[in-house]
Structure 1
């Protein structure tokens, strides 16, 4: 016979979720707002892509393309516009999903992309373009600034780094 009437009790769990696993919490409002801003950026990009087809002739004139090369430039511009939207739109959406799941690396990558977008936005605003693209660029830069603000709020940082707010 042993000294114990039965097996000893298991050790207590290490974390709030038991056995070292944290409880999965819902993202804070600032992360949800960040995701909504990402949706707004994507919607604005859809509108801008459609507008780029509408204003393609004006954009080609502003870029000083030779008349003989206009058809080729028009085709290339349309293909590049759609491919750019699909690639970067998919990337932004994927990063937004990972941000909402609590992945801090997604916030860092989004911050780099947003900073790059702000730099390109400043260059774009200073260039010659139809007014509608100027307005679109300014709205997009405002969305980028708002995204940076909400992604780096204290409750977002606590959620993404696993600390209590």
Structure 2
């Protein structure tokens, strides 16, 4: 079958009415996918480890409350710490779920997911650079940066370009 002038790279099977075969996924995309998965898991582990430092956080708030002449009771401080930690954990789980969704879409050849993951990684990197974080936070962002780099290498670019006309 001849190629259409409007779609020079259009797969012949799609032009014949059959669904086009998905392009082979390069190892760079697989590596990026697994890097984003690892970054997500590391981030969640760090989120759960905050519960181990609950007493230290409560003590810091108590000392701050005393020094500023605050009127919060120990029970109110404990309650505030618990609520804050639970809300932070829920937010971390929601962000992790979205991160996983984008990673799977990246693996499926969706260029928009690659862009979203790049933006999220850039924001994660900025938050690590300007804020306080743990060793796991640094490891998580380094792994995510590796995922971004892998997702923009030449084989990955070719994969995303080839996957686009199939949809």
TM-score range, shorter chain: 0.7 to 0.9
How far did residue 13 of structure 1 move? 6.5
Which of 1 and 2 has higher RCO (CA within 8 Å, sep 6+)?
Answer: 2
Q: Deviations over 1:56-108 (max 9, x none)?
A: 22234556753634212222222222211221011001101110110000001
Gaps of 5+ in 2: 4-9, 66-71
Q: Which residue matches 1:26?
A: 24
Taking the TM superposition and a 5 Å limit, the aligned residue runs for 1:64-83 are 66=65, 68=73, 69-83=76-90
* TM value normalised by structure 2: 0.76
How far did residue 45 of structure 1 move? 1.9
* TM value normalised by structure 1: 0.77
Q: Figure out how many residues of one structure are paired with residues of the other and give that number.
A: 145
How far did residue 141 of structure 1 move? 2.2
Q: Which residue matches 1:139?
A: 139
Taking the TM superposition and a 5 Å limit, the aligned residue runs for 1:1-165 are 12=1, 14=3, 15-20=10-15, 22-62=20-60, 66=65, 68=73, 69-124=76-131, 127=132, 134-162=134-162
Q: What RMSD over aligned residues (CA atoms) do the two structures have, in Å?
A: 2.2
Please tell me whether the aligned partners of residues 13 and 19 of structure 1 are also in contact (alpha carbons under 8 angstroms).
no
- Give the number of the structure whose alpha-carbon radius of gyration is greater: 1
Gaps of 5+ in 1: 1-11, 128-132
